[in-house]
Amino acid sequence: MTIRRLIWVVMGLVAAGGSLLAGTWVARTGVLWRAGGPPPVLRGTLQSAAVDVRAAIAGRVRLVAVREGDRVKAGQLIAWMDAPELRDAARAAQETAREAQRRLDSLRAGLPGGPQEAHARARTAHAAARRALAEAEELAGEEYSLSERVPAAREALDAAQGRLQDAEARLAQARALSGSPGEPGGGAPLESNGATEPARPETGAPTGDAAPAGPAEAPEVAAARQSAAEARERRDATRRAQAALERRLEAARAASNRLASLAARARAAADAADAARWEMESQVAVGSRESEERELRREVRAAQAEAARARVRLRETLVVAPAPGIVEHVSGVAGEEVSSGRPIATIRRLDALWTDITIPRRDARRVRVHEEVAVRSVSRPDLALKGTTVSGEVTDGGADAPATVRVAVDNPGGQLRPGDEVDVTLP
């Protein structure tokens, strides 16, 4: 091989290596490409990241505060988890902190305190725990009978609804046969499905179906009207009774679920009362007032720290939006039990928009990463914003090889949304 041919081979290898390096990310060098010509205006579609908003604790979803398509701010309530044990713990911790502070204040003021007072408090707490357990046991004991009565109440409601429909059908037939004047079908509107209650007349005026539709109303129409009114009243009373039974059954089931924790609390309170009594009976007055005050100060600090931790845990019942955006999907349903980490909703962010634009290499001019560019909305030409090039990539190939640039777009006030088209003017 001649020297000239060897030189040409080496030059070809160098050119191939340069073409390969041109396909690397701009983030490594800072420069995307270089060319001449006027600033190009490129069109792209805005995109953003989707964020799953998850439950921080396991429990029942008490409230879902958003719907799909809603626009939310950072920190806005998405859902509320029902966690009675956390509320009770926070309340108890706060009460413990207040009591510790009160005992410290009493000591500093020279008021009586000590083991006798601790024993009295422990006995009071034990009595309260026993009452709570007894009430829950009584309510939970009704669960079986209520679970049998609720289906019967539902059947009674269905039967009352059927009797109301029959009465209204007879009223309509009587009107048709008598030719009573008034609304189509005669007199007051029928409402057998219970969707709409008839308007209540003023005091002293004839009520609903009990009043004749006109001076010439036939006796059979009046009788049918009265029968329909009575059937409606019985249906409404049955509906109220059935709803009350279901509420009572739900309370009984909740009490049954809490029996174990209430029993444990009562046992702990009993143990604490016994310990306080033993301390009261066996303690010999030793130590100084200063050492007692130091101990109380430690108790106050520990109780306040525990109360703060309980408040933090309680705040976990509030599921909030981590960033501003649009609710894209709601998967949580009020009343369902969810596990910790379960997605409640998905938010499409509005504070971090970007668009990918593509240019033939021959039409591009020099572009650098982290360089400011002009952005204008296609649907709202008067809306001019700023953007910043954050990354870019040049595909291997010739002069027509495409180059892709990612531009982060400022979105003050959330005026733009994912899916909007924008024009980007490179510098």
Count the helix, strand and coil residues of the chain and give each as a percent rounded to the nearest 5: 50, 20, 30
The two structure tokens encoding residue 146 = 């209520």
pLDDT of residue 354: 92
pLDDT of residue 212: 46
Q: In degrees, to the nearest 5, what angle opens at C-alpha 207 toward C-alphas 204 and 213?
A: 115
Distance CA 214, CA 122 (A): 74
CATH 1.10.287 occupies which residues in the chain? 114-195+208-283
78 dihedral zone (left: phi>0; alpha: psi -120 to 50; beta): alpha
Residue closest to 423 by CA, chosen among 390, 372, 378? 378
pLDDT of residue 202: 41
Q: Decide which of 2.40.50.100, 3.40.50.10140, 3.40.190.10, 3.10.150.10 is the CATH code for 51-82+315-344.
A: 2.40.50.100
Distance CA 236, CA 241 (A): 9
CATH architecture of the domain with residue range 114-195+208-283? Orthogonal Bundle (1.10)
Contact 64, 327 (CB under 8 A): no
The set of long-range contacts for 122-127, using a CB threshold of 8 Å and a minimum separation of 24, is 122/269, 122/272, 122/273, 122/275, 122/276, 122/277, 123/273, 123/276, 125/269, 125/272, 125/273, 126/266, 126/269, 126/270, 126/272, 126/273
CATH 2.40.50.100 occupies which residues in the chain? 51-82+315-344
pLDDT of residue 35: 46
Distance CA 159, CA 168 (A): 14
Contact 81, 317 (CB under 8 A): yes
Distance CA 357, CA 37 (A): 18
Task: State which H helix or E strand residue 243 sits in.
Answer: helix 219-282
Q: What is the dihedral of CA 360, 366, 372, 373, to 10 degrees?
A: -40
| Whether pTM exceeds 0.85 | no
pLDDT of residue 213: 46
**Other beta carbons within 10 Å of 352:** 15
CATH architecture of the domain with residue range 22-49+346-425? Beta Barrel (2.40)
pLDDT of residue 189: 46
| Residue numbers of the chain with a pLDDT score lower than 50 | 18-35, 182-190, 192-214, 284-287
Residue closest to 194 by CA, chosen among 234, 253, 252? 234
- Work out the widest C-alpha separation in the chain, in whole angstroms: 126
Residues 6+ apart with CB under 8 A from 53: 78, 79, 319, 320, 321, 322, 343, 344, 345, 346, 347
DSSP 376: E
pLDDT of residue 184: 42
Beta-bridged to residue 355, according to DSSP, are 407
Task: State which H helix or E strand residue 252 sits in.
Answer: helix 219-282
Contact 327, 68 (CB under 8 A): yes
Distance CA 304, CA 77 (A): 27
